[in-house]
Amino acid sequence: MIASDPARARRLVLFDIDGTILWTDGAGRRAVFQALEEHFGKSGPGEHRFDGKTDPQIVRELMRHAGVSDADIDARLDEVLDRYLALLRDELASTDHAQHVFPGVRELLDALESRGDVVLGLLTGNIHSGARAKLAAVGIDPERFVVGAFGSDHHERPELPEIARRRAERALGHPVAGHELVVIGDTPADVECGVSIGARAIGVATGRYSVDELRACGAAAVFADLTDTAAVVRAILAD
Ligand SMILES: [Mg+2]
């Protein structure tokens, strides 16, 4: 079901999830570390940065760091990610943590959805089922996002915008040019990932990077948060 009129779509807006739409208060980290402990008997350095990375990339980096061979990582990657997903769902269902949606996100999604010229999408390092679980946990219907590209599609984030673009063409039934894509994310990896196909990036400093850091890596616009709905919509539609 496509909410927007495909004939009028001017922008495909691809949202990152963690640090951009929501914060899981460590649920993802705990689930990854426990899944690795169960399958490899070790979990790698606890301070390892996850932001901007895909789930398969995180597993590989942590296990390489712990001395596991790529062959062993490859052999167990699918089962580790399956276990991660089960643990993530348990973590998200727990009431012990403070997972939440960032200010202004719900209003921005509503505003974009009500327009005829914008299509909502996801571009995230989360595996597909993990993305859906995180969104559902904070009461955002994953079905609102017409297209998506996920860590389960490719372990390198720079490959994801082109995957999203092709899926948008299939879903909308018309060509979608790279410059019609807008990526919204909280890390330099989000800002830089769409450069090769001409996508524009909007940075939001609700994750671990500052406005200045996101601006320095080439974002077309940067916001401290997404509360100024009108300004964010203008930045999305700007040429
Ligand atoms: Mg992020």
Determine the distance separating the centroid of ligand 1 and the alpha carbon of 34, expressed in angstroms. 21
Residues 191, 163 share a domain: yes
Residues 200, 213 share a domain: yes
Q: Any idea what the CATH number is for the domain that residue 66 is in? A: 1.10.150.240
Residues 200, 167 share a domain: yes
Q: What residues are neighbours of ligand 1 (ion), with CB under 5 Å?
A: 16, 18-19, 186
Tokens for 190, please give them.
Answer: 């989000």
CA 18, 21, 22 angle in degrees (round to 5)?
60
Residues 140, 195 share a domain: yes
Q: Can you give the pLDDT at residue 5?
A: 52
Determine the distance separating the centroid of ligand 1 and the alpha carbon of 239, expressed in angstroms. 24
Tally of CB atoms within 10 A around 166? 13
CA 147, 84, 78 angle in degrees (round to 5)?
75
Instruction: Give 152-172 as a DSSP string.
Output: TT-SSGGGHHHHHHHHHHHHH
Residues 181, 112 share a domain: yes
Structural domain of residue 140, as residue ranges? Answer: 6-23+100-237
Residues 131, 172 share a domain: yes
Give Cβ neighbours of residue 127 (< 8 Å, ≥ 6 apart): 55, 56, 81, 84, 85, 150, 151, 152
Residue 123 has φ and ψ, to the nearest 5°, of -140, 105
Query: Per residue of the chain (239 residues), what is the pLDDT tens digit?
Result: 454 455 567 899 999 999 999 999 999 999 999 999 999 999 988 889 999 999 999 999 999 999 999 999 999 999 999 999 999 999 999 877 788 999 999 999 999 999 989 999 999 999 999 999 999 999 999 999 999 999 999 999 999 999 999 999 999 999 999 999 999 999 999 999 988 899 999 999 999 999 999 999 999 999 999 999 999 999 999 98
Q: Is residue 182 part of a domain?
A: yes
The domain total for the chain is 2
Determine the distance separating the centroid of ligand 1 and the alpha carbon of 135, expressed in angstroms. 13
Residues 148, 65 share a domain: no
Residues 125, 11 share a domain: yes
Q: Give the integer Cα–Cα distance in Å for 194 and 183.
A: 7
Residues 112, 47 share a domain: no
Tokens for 193, please give them.
Answer: 């990932």
Cross-strand pairs, 11:
118
Residues 133, 114 share a domain: yes
